[in-house]
Amino acid sequence: MIIKICTGSSCHLNGSYDVIQEFKSLLKKYDVEDLIELKASFCFNECINGVNVKCETGSMMNEEMPNMTLCDDGFLLHHATKENAEELFAKQIYPLLNLKKNA
């Protein structure tokens, strides 16, 4: 999976650098650095909803959740902040990895 965090001017002003740093820490914390590639991105033309985080899962999702827009290759999460990054990650991204837990 690829996660792209918008670093366009509006999202930058809304704290995208902090969101990137938080996502970097979360990939380490959840031990998924090998499974998720983190990238910065240009503007997604959703500036009013920034900071925007695009999750490229490779397929269209079936279910839209609050603060999310579906795309052909995944979904866009809106209003990401340093403070809500872990909640977004844990609820809307991590479960998609379908990791089997060791018993």
List residues binding ligand FES (CB under 6 A). Answer: 6, 8-11, 43-47, 50, 52
Token pair 């983190």: residue: 38
Residue 36 or 51 having the CB closest to ligand FES? 51
Residue 9 or 25 having the CB closest to ligand FES? 9
Q: Which residues of 55-65 are buried (b: 16+ CB within 10 A; e: fewer)?
A: bbbeeebeeee
Residue 75 CB, nearest approach to ligand FES (Å): 14
Residue 44 CB, nearest approach to ligand FES (Å): 4
| Other residues' Cβ atoms within 10 Å of the Cβ of residue 43 | 15
Residue 69 CB, nearest approach to ligand FES (Å): 11
Residue 8 or 74 having the CB closest to ligand FES? 8
Residue 48 CB, nearest approach to ligand FES (Å): 8
Q: H or E stretch including 35?
A: none
Q: Cβ(24)–Cβ(58) under 8 Å?
A: no
Q: Assign 25 to helix, strand or coil.
A: helix
